[in-house]
Structure 1
């Protein structure tokens, strides 16, 4: 007598809540809770939102110093595995400069068309000196640290990059003798990325706190005074992200721009929430690899870009802010001043260092133009709202340039690029020790 097997019911597909949907939910809840805290004067809710947001940012910053050091160190030494490494590095830097020039040009054009400082009701008495300032002397002398400990304790990212680059070049010169150190550095970097990946998973919760605090603290009244300037920053960033970048992808890299945004969107949306290019760096590197850029080149270009490539914070924003502050203080800018703004944006962008805010870069621009530094104080209150879109633009550019360079050099995997359509956060991460589909080399 034979026993027939009972047919198995098909397994139900497990429901997954996409990362982008989690972020959107966090945004909506943040706006709602922030509005309640402000309009209903719920002090405990405002305090809770502030603590949640601060804790998320602090967790991101916790790994910044060692992450930058080991990422730059490993990225420099990884160049030995890439053919034409010097050519790739120079092309990367060239496209960083080209896109920065385009971005600052858009910022200047929008500022001249809209006059963001006119009719605000703000005066020079409303400004105050910033706590942190930047000058060319500080920028140039500040690259080299006085010791190897202070850059890490004071989180001076520019000096950390310098130390890491020197260590990487020295390791390349030593050759095989430096291999134990490089193996340790790669292991530490993986450990830091794994820990930071856990923090990235908390981004939806952090979004509630950060957005809620912005609404509870500033409300919409403050934005009204800066309406034109705020709109200019967002419009300028949107033009760069969704106008200039797609054109470069289509005309220069000759790839489908839509596929780029499908692949890079998780990093862009995390940057919008976290306001930290460095904190987003592991995710930016991962999505860039999934877009078909070789891992060896990505591991150099993305960390390098996360500390120096700032189209939002160092190009669009300083250009608009300089025009805004000049109009508030009734200073007439000349053609020479506009050229100086472009120069500062291209050369001094490393001063922003991939952290939240762009105060140092702005003070560097103002001091170069001879504008009052008190103008920075006029923008501090609105800065968190502006910094979200600035950082998103930064990270989009940091993913874009490696794709453009790889495509032009013939090393972009077109099949991987075409298939980069799902969010990496919706799939098992290789940093979690689980199976994942590796990008094609």
Structure 2
């Protein structure tokens, strides 16, 4: 009797249907596939001298970067404005902002010291076969006068049309501070600003999902255009940049996380990896900003603080582009042009890297920062022309380092100020960038059920 009853009872239990949904390919796998495919197509185009394939790869890459840049100007403006006003929801906001800036400067100083040490040890400009005749003046050169006077725009339209991110940051900061002073009177403007920021971020998510396709074009065109023979001429310099950035990314940051923040560095990389890999491909800190902010929040940084620190870092925190790169590049160019550098010059390089990093503005490339460094040292600006050919290959690693630092510092400051959610940090995982974490999804389901 009991057996038959159990059988009948078990037959009434509904069977969970097997999911017929196609397994989703992880984003990092999509990016890696794009990298491999891009290298393969670039090699085919280069070895077979296939012009139409090279052109197609270039158009694909250019279109992806153009789509990223399309939202940069308004995204930076509204992100900075909203982030400054969000600070009023955080205790000790001025203290947090000051600590953030100080750690930006400290890590930049460490990064530039690593760059100088590598450059002095390896002498990247010797034995390359390159000569000063191969250099040419850059289209735009940076100087301290331009940097200081260029912060303030002459009108409110030009910075957006010419994509002068530094001036956009200045206007957004002024607007944000003014909104804080006005209080409730500014709430209608802030409401529109928050809605505009969400709209821009949503549109940018769609572009970010195209990153694997953009990777094929960007990497493929780089290989097809420059080829391995050109990379060979810059072998020491290229290795120096990658090693220097790797030491900062996988050496300095984990050391700070483990000793200062007292957290597991492996958890950081697991949580922040979607932003780091996208930065490597897109070569744009600002374009990666929505992903950077999302992974930073997943790592336990309070949203109100993250919404300030990440946009601020995306336009000023550049350990790869503004510290490691100009230090090694200055030594490289000095050796090519046979210009001796002394201790005072190395101190100047460190000063420029720490103070002038905002000149990079979070966009692809670091030409402005490099010209600012060279002009300060009195080195020939024609040296920039020698580096432009190899720049896209270098910029990938530089930007990945930038973005990692933009996420590390908020974690470090939050831990020091005891506002880091350590449970969230330890539970962080590299989940898809356009879907909520499993824990978030569970809360959305279980809370109503409990009610």
Shared fold (TM-score, shorter chain, > 0.5)? yes
Deviation of residue 188 (structure 1)? 0.3
Matches within 5 A, 1:283-322: 283-322=291-330
TM-score (ref. length: structure 2): 0.94
> Partners of 2:370 and 2:156 in 1: how far apart?
27
Paired position in structure 1 for 2:402 = 394
| Structure 2: gaps of 5 or more residues | 1-7, 445-451
Matches within 5 A, 1:389-428: 389-425=397-433, 427-428=435-436
Matches within 5 A, 1:326-337: 326-337=334-345
1:277-327 CA-to-partner distances (Å, cap 9, x unmatched) read: 000000000000000000000000000000000000000000000000000
The equivalent position to 2:363 in structure 1, one of 355, 358, 379, is 355
| Aligned: 1:20 with 2:28 | yes
> Partners of 2:429 and 2:436 in 1: how far apart?
15
Deviation of residue 423 (structure 1)? 2.2
Paired position in structure 2 for 1:8 = 15
Counterpart contact for 1:151–1:160, Cα < 8 Å: yes
Deviation of residue 437 (structure 1)? 6.2
Deviation of residue 47 (structure 1)? 1.1
Deviation of residue 57 (structure 1)? 0.3
> Partners of 1:400 and 1:39 in 2: how far apart?
41
> Partners of 1:279 and 1:8 in 2: how far apart?
46
> Partners of 1:107 and 1:360 in 2: how far apart?
18
The equivalent position to 2:178 in structure 1, one of 147, 150, 170, is 170
| Aligned: 1:272 with 2:270 | no
> Partners of 1:324 and 1:350 in 2: how far apart?
23
The equivalent position to 1:119 in structure 2, one of 127, 137, 143, is 127
Deviation of residue 8 (structure 1)? 3.2
3-state SS in 2 of match to 1:325:
helix
1:149-208 CA-to-partner distances (Å, cap 9, x unmatched) read: 000000000000000000000000000000000011000000000000000011000000
1:340-367 CA-to-partner distances (Å, cap 9, x unmatched) read: 0000000000000000000000000000
The equivalent position to 2:375 in structure 1, one of 367, 384, 394, is 367
Counterpart contact for 2:73–2:168, Cα < 8 Å: yes
Counterpart contact for 2:296–2:411, Cα < 8 Å: yes
3-state SS in 1 of match to 2:118:
helix
> Partners of 1:144 and 1:173 in 2: how far apart?
21
3-state SS in 2 of match to 1:253:
coil
> Partners of 1:250 and 1:429 in 2: how far apart?
25
3-state SS in 2 of match to 1:132:
coil
TM-score (ref. length: structure 1): 0.96
The equivalent position to 2:162 in structure 1, one of 154, 160, 165, is 154
RMSD (Å) for aligned C-alpha atoms: 1.6
- Quickly say closer, same or farther: Cα 1:177–1:78, change in 2 above 3 A: same
Counterpart contact for 1:203–1:270, Cα < 8 Å: yes
Deviation of residue 435 (structure 1)? 5.7
Paired position in structure 2 for 1:213 = 221
Deviation of residue 421 (structure 1)? 1.3
3-state SS in 1 of match to 2:204:
helix
Counterpart contact for 1:135–1:367, Cα < 8 Å: yes
> Partners of 1:138 and 1:423 in 2: how far apart?
43
> Partners of 2:263 and 2:206 in 1: how far apart?
33
1:214-255 CA-to-partner distances (Å, cap 9, x unmatched) read: 000001000000000000000000000000000000000000
> Partners of 2:157 and 2:443 in 1: how far apart?
39
The equivalent position to 1:225 in structure 2, one of 217, 233, 246, is 233
Larger CA Rg, structure 1 vs 2: 2
> Partners of 2:443 and 2:167 in 1: how far apart?
36
Counterpart contact for 1:117–1:323, Cα < 8 Å: yes
- Quickly say closer, same or farther: Cα 1:13–1:323, change in 2 above 3 A: farther
Residue-pair matches, total: 434
Deviation beyond 4 Å, 4+ runs, structure 1: 2-7, 434-438
- Quickly say closer, same or farther: Cα 1:13–1:100, change in 2 above 3 A: farther
| Structure 1: gaps of 5 or more residues | none
> Partners of 2:59 and 2:51 in 1: how far apart?
12
1:124-171 CA-to-partner distances (Å, cap 9, x unmatched) read: 111000001100000000000000000000000000000000000000
